[in-house]
Amino acid sequence: MAEILDGRAIAERIREKIKQRVANLPSKPGLAVLLVGSNPASHTYVNIKQKACEEVGIHFEKTSYSATETEETLINHIRTLNARADIHGILVQLPLPSQDATRIIAEINPEKDVDGFHPENVRRLKAGEPAIASAVALGVMKLIGPRTGDAVIVSSPLFAEPLITLMKERRINAIVVDGDDPSLAQKTKTADILVVAVGRPEFLTGEMVKPGATVIDVGTTKKDGVLYGDADRASVASVAGALTPVPGGVGPMTVAMLLVNVLKAYDLQGKQFSDHASSEQQDEDPSE
């Protein structure tokens, strides 16, 4: 049976280190979140982030908007937050009901983009320059740990892009495969590291997994009040060498790495960011 990679336990250790570091800072880091619409999952995720910030001593500020709010209003708010010295991180909770997320995120100061989605952060990441990388990608890499080999990422290219860059730094050769690829199972069975993020409950079965592979399940889908991952846990666990659970795997790690990114943003804005800091953030942050 596969080793279960306990994201909660790792995240708890990271959060404790962050709490200690925040307590020793000359001022309190601040995170501002824009929450648009009434999507229950989005509200749940924001509440989790708020609780995590409060636990470690990061100032948290949430502004809620109706689903029909104009893009101009959101952009104006972001510009105000960009100018505030007490706000070091800005996050727009995705998905947005109908607004153009790309346009809105592009308005965030890249040094305050703690989700790592701004085009400039993506560019910097690829170039090996100081950057804030995607929190979920950093969380995935933390769970992969020292493991190496060939990786297959079953997801959209947008999700996979920062992950591929981080894997490349670890000398992990990665390819992206669409969830509807007709030869999907043939490709996933070549992976020493298999990341699945398609949002389809129990989509990945044991027959699609290489024996001994590390499977990182990013998917979360709620059915009848129960949270399911993209991997069929029973069949995958009988084949894989390691597997992240849902819940308790990537989710807690993503929140922990978001807190790390807030501290990165705080350092960056304080001109304390090392000239050698790159997308390999985990070597210079409290997650170590």
Axis-axis angle for helices 250-269, 7-23 (nearest 10)? 20
173: exposed, middle or buried (Cβ count in 10 Å: 0-12, 13-18, 19+): middle
Residues forming a β-bridge with 153? 176, 195
DSSP letter at 205? -
Alpha carbon 227 to chain centroid, angstroms: 18
For 284, the enclosing helix (H) or strand (E) is none
186's CB contacts (< 8 A; 6+ apart) are none
Buried b (16+ CB within 10 A) or exposed e, 222-249: eeeeeebbbbbbebbbebbbbbbbbebb
Q: Name the residue among 146, 143, 140 with its Cα closest to residue 159.
A: 140
Question: Could you tell me the two tokens for 218?
Answer: 């990013």
DSSP letter at 2? P
Radius of gyration of the chain (CA): 19
Q: Give me the active site residues, please.
A: 49, 93, 115
